[in-house]
Amino acid sequence: MTGVVWPLSRKATKSKRLLLVSTQVLWDDSSKAVYPHVAEALQAVATAGHAVFVVSNHPQPPWLAPYLNFLTFQRCSLQSPRQNGKIVAQIIAANVNKGLKPSDIVVLGSTDDEHRENEKASKKS
């Protein structure tokens, strides 16, 4: 997994929850803008002390920093697509000594397939 910073920082593992978000959840391609209510909700989550990561197989999109500077971008660089759920199992495995559990990770994917696959991977951990 080149370019991936799992294990997580002490701050991320001490947070109440780790929230993983796909770029498709944040960006409305038809209007070329961030979904405002999603951005507001994620800002509230981050302010409450939860770690919020945008996870992608692609480089950081140019629109992310200007609009959502409270999020941490993480390129996962997985051989298989991020949507297969392995990322959750890998994060847990890399941080098991810090007490990270599957129930500490919340995934906001952009398709039903992403949700199903991440749920399967979490149950295997």
CATH of the domain at 25: 3.40.50.1000
- Domain assignment present for residue 14? The answer is yes
Among 53-57, 61-65, 69-73, 79-83, name the one with the lowest average pLDDT: 79-83
- Domain assignment present for residue 56? The answer is yes
- Domain assignment present for residue 75? The answer is yes
For the chain, the farthest-separated pair of C-alpha atoms sits apart, in whole angstroms, at: 43
pLDDT averaged over the chain?
75
At 56 the pLDDT is 80
For 5-32, how does the pLDDT look when each residue is reduced to its tens digit (9 = 90+)? 455 555 555 556 778 888 888 888 889 9
Residue 115 has pLDDT above 50, yes or no: no
Band (pLDDT 50/70/90 cuts) for residue 82 is low
pTM of the model: 0.68
- Domain assignment present for residue 3? The answer is no
- Domain assignment present for residue 1? The answer is no
- Domain assignment present for residue 42? The answer is yes
Pairing of strands 27-28, 33-34: antiparallel
How many domains in the chain?
1
Expressed as residue numbers, the domain containing 41 is 10-124
- Domain assignment present for residue 93? The answer is yes
- Give the residue from 93, 90, 92, 73 showing the smallest Cα distance to 22: 73
Band (pLDDT 50/70/90 cuts) for residue 103 is confident
- Which token pair is 19? 């929230």
Name the region of 3 (left: φ>0; alpha: ψ -120 to 50; beta: rest): left
- Domain assignment present for residue 4? The answer is no
Residue 79 has pLDDT above 60, yes or no: no
64 or 67, greater pLDDT: 64
